[in-house]
Structures are given as structure tokens and as C-alpha cells.
Amino acid sequence: MKIDKNLLLRRVLPVIAGGLIGYAYYYYIGCYSGTCPIQSNPYISTLYGTGIGLVLAWPSKKKKVQAEDQNG
């Protein structure tokens, strides 16, 4: 099974980076009083960061349509 580097760079890397940024948000900015549900829990902030990375990495149909128009 061959791993496509383009797939890795465009799909997986933003999800991992989002998770790391979510954890960094908890670590550096987090809310220690417990009243902030996202900021006070490292698992939730990492999950939110991963979700944002996933949304940004999700392919859009608009790019495919433009590529088809250019090819013919």
C-alpha cells in the first residue's frame, strides 16, 4: 500500500496541527477556574482544535469544478 504524500500534506497534517493548536490554547490561555468548558479541559480543547483542522482540510467541490473547466 502506497501512501500519497499529497494526501498526507493536505488532509492529515492540518488535523494534527489543529489538535496541537487546541492543546496549546488550553495550556497557554486556558481557564483554571473551571467555569470555561472548552478552555478548562485539555481533551475538549484538543478535540475542538482537531475539528477545526478537519473542517479546514475537508475538500470542497468548488476546486474540482474549476479543475474540470481548465482540462476541457
Reported as a single tens digit per residue, the pLDDT across 21-45 is 999 999 999 887 878 888 888 999 9
Cβ partners under 8 Å of residue 51, min gap 6: 18
46 contacts 26 by C-beta, under 8 angstroms: yes
Burial of 28 (0-12, 13-18, 19+ CB in 10 A): exposed
Percent of the chain with pLDDT over 70: 83
- Which of 5-14, 38-47, 49-58 shows the lowest mean pLDDT across its residues? 5-14
